[in-house]
Each structure stands twice: as C-alpha cells, then as structure tokens.
Structure 1
Amino acid sequence: MGVGIRRAGAGDREDVTRLLDEAFQDDPVSSWVFPDADHRRRTHPLLMRAFLDIVLDAGYVDVTEDGSACALWLSMPAEAHEEDEDGPAQLREAVDPGNERVELIARLTGEVHPVGAAHEYLWMIAVRPGRQGEGLGTALVQHVLDRCDSEGTAAYLEASSARGRALYERLGFVFTGREVALPAGPPMWPMWREAPRGALRQEGGS
C-alpha cells in the first residue's frame, strides 16, 4: 500500500513545527547549533518554526496523511538570485540573538548552494521518532523526484547524517565534493541529482 501524501497549509503550522522539533532535536547539526541540551529543548522549536514559515511563504510542504513525516521544498530558478544579506542575521535575532551559530549555518549553507540550473531544493525532511525506517521519508522524496523526472528538473539537498547521505545516494543524489564547513561541527554533505535527459523540459526547442 502506498503512502498518502498531501500539501500542507497554514493550518498545519503547529503540527508540522512539532514534528520538525521532535525529529531534529538530537540531529548532529541541531546539537551543534544548540550545544546545551536544556537550551536546545527551549529554543530549537523556534528555529524549526522560522524555517517552516520561510518555506510556507516561498515554497511548499508535503506531509504524509497521518502526519508522521514531512518534507520542506523550495523551487529554485536557473538564474542566480540575489541573496538577502540580512536574512541570516534576522533569523538569528528572531530565534536566538546570542547564538551566532544560528546565523552562521544559514550563511554557510547559502555559500555552497549551486546556481546555474533550475532545481527543487529539499530544505528539510522529518520523520517522527518511532516511525523511522518505514520508508516514509523515501516516499516523500520520491514523490517530488517523480515530478522532477517528468519535467526535467534537478534536485538538491544537504545531508546532515551518514545515514541520510546513504539514503539519498540510493535515490540518485551525488555529493558535490564540497562539505558545509561548520567550525568544530559535524559534516554536512551538499548533494545534487541531475535532471534526466530527454524529459519534458526539453520540449519546445528545435
């Protein structure tokens, strides 16, 4: 039986924020951003909500019908777009003003983000603890990759764990060769999946 997937809306904001918080509380990157466990429990939900609001405004969020998993996506244009230099600082101010790592991770991931080809950017994917290993995350990603394949669009993400990297490799993503350099932090692997040749994006040309 397939996994039911729907598009999330503003009414899902609290539930999706809670899901993101639960799924990423012990993630290596979240632990680097918020090294103190007590502070992380208090502040991490604010970062997850800020991320979600950005994507609800500029992209789209897919959730499984039972609410156990979600994926946050942005559709990125081929042309280089001007970065909001104040965005990372504003994120830090809104979430945790005294924590420079909130701002730093936003800047570092922005520096390695590829330009020059339209792509779907998987910003975050979360599966509720206790439901991991059931294929929910794979179903969410494949749901968009199927559309990428039919439209001739590439895809991009940053893997934050070796387990995640292995999963994405099975789905056709390849490490770009340049890690996100978190100072004294865990590795993050930018990964790119090429658009298939001969898909619909090629139509209309001569």
Structure 2
Amino acid sequence: MGVRIRQADGRDRDQVVGILEEAFHDDPVSSWVFPAEDHRRAVHGKFLGVFVDVTLDEGRIDLLEDGTAAALWLSVPAGAPEEEDDTPALMRETADPDNERAELVGRLTGAVHPHDRAHAYLLMIGVRPERQGEGLGVELMRGVLERCDREGTPVYLEASSERSRGLYERLGFTFMGRTVDLPEGPAMWPMWREPKAC
C-alpha cells in the first residue's frame, strides 16, 4: 500500500486526539460513555486526550504521515501492577467529572487485563471516517505485529465493536472468552495474539 508511518511526539498531540475523536465519535463504547451527542462532541477530545498523554509518556504512538490514522501502543510487563492505575479516575476528572461511566469503562477493562505475561498492548487505533475500510489500520499495525513476532511477544487489545473484532481476528487475534459488559451498554471483546513463528 505504501503508507508512510512515523512515531508521533508531543507536537502531534492535538492531531492524534483529533484523529481519535473523529474515528470513535460513533463508536458503541464512546456513545455509551457519552450518550448525548452534543455533550460527546464537547468532552470526547478531553477524554481521549488522557489516553494520548499516557501513551506519549509511557509508550509509542504511530501516526500516518498524512494525518489519517494513529495507533497507541504500551508495553506491559508481566506481573500484577504494584499500584492501582489512576488513569480511569483521571479520565473522568479531566473529561466529565459528574459522569461515572467515564471512569467505569477504564475500571472494567483494567479488571480483565491479563498480567501473567509481558505483552504489547494496543490501547487504541483510529482511522478518520472518510478513510476507514481502506486497510490503513492494518498497515499501521503491521510493523509492530511483525516486530512482536520476531521478538516472541504476544499482543493484547479490547475490540469495541463486532466490526473491529472481525478485523483483529483476521490479524491472528483470538477472543479470550469473556466479554466486558458495560452496564446497560455494549460489550467489549478482550483479544490476545500469540507471536507467529518467523
């Protein structure tokens, strides 16, 4: 396909937030967290900005040079975290303090996140709506998945829709068997990918 990918830095923060905001505006999970569309439009970027800030600080963000897609990656060590993750509380505090769903989604996904083996974590990947369906997400992931295969590193993610679940299955991910069921809302699918022999 010939897409050009570079690693984002702090100067790209607003662009990455904009990509994610557009990509996830109508996503089932975002729509559950912020049911009123006008309100979602007002606070969604603040909410997603927390993910971007955490990843800029602790991981890596791959960005298509044309600004149409971005992937947020974290490296997760083996073993349970020594301290409670304060990211869910920060998501709520930053974006929508009166909205418990802004914190609950992070608490529920954190509760099922595996910690028995070190792995790469695809925290989020987003493609601007007008470019979805062109394979850009696959191209954006390809380099990291190939590196994980070479290094023998598994990969974990949570799919937020049936459509994305199908995409990830085609890339070698398997559903871990138990959904994250948001109260009166959609399901999310924890998925795991074992490294492939090179």
Shared fold (TM-score, shorter chain, > 0.5): yes
In 1: Cα distance, 2:57 partner to 2:51 partner: 10
2:85 & 2:79 partners in 1: Cα distance? 18
Contact 1:8–1:63 under 8 Å retained in 2: yes
Q: 1:153–1:196: 8 Å Cα contact kept in structure 2?
A: no
Change (3 A) 1:87 1:133: closer
Q: Within 5 Å, which residues of 2 pair with 1:81-96?
A: 81-96=81-96
2:156 is aligned to 156
Q: What's 1:7 paired with?
A: 7
**TM-score (norm. length: structure 2):** 0.96
Superposed CA offset, 1:147-186 (max 9, x none): 0001000000000111100010000000001111210111
State the one-letter code of the partner of 2:58. Answer: A
- Cα RMSD after superposing both structures: 1.2
Cα 1:83–1:107, aligned 2, differ >3 Å: closer, same or farther? farther
TM-score normalised by the chain length of structure 1? 0.92
Contact 1:74 1:122 in 2 (8 A): yes
What does residue range 27-176 of structure 1 map to in structure 2 within 5 Å? 27-176=27-176
Worse-matched range after superposition: 1-10 or 150-159: 1-10
> Helix, strand or coil: the match of 1:81?
coil
The 1:147–1:95 alpha-carbon spacing in structure 2 relative to 1, beyond 3 Å, is: same
- CA distance in 2 between counterparts of 1:2 and 1:87 reads 36
Contact 1:179 / 1:187 at 8 angstroms: preserved in 2?
A: yes
Matched, 1:182 2:190: no
Identical-residue share of aligned pairs (%): 62
C-alpha distance in 2 between matches for 1:130 and 1:137: 13
Aligned length: 198
Q: Decide whether the 8 Å contact of 2:50 with 2:90 is kept in 1.
A: no
| Rounded Cα–Cα distance in structure 1 between residues aligned with 2:31 and 2:187 | 12
Indicate the SS of the match to 2:180.
coil
Structure 1, unmatched stretches of 5+, are 200-206
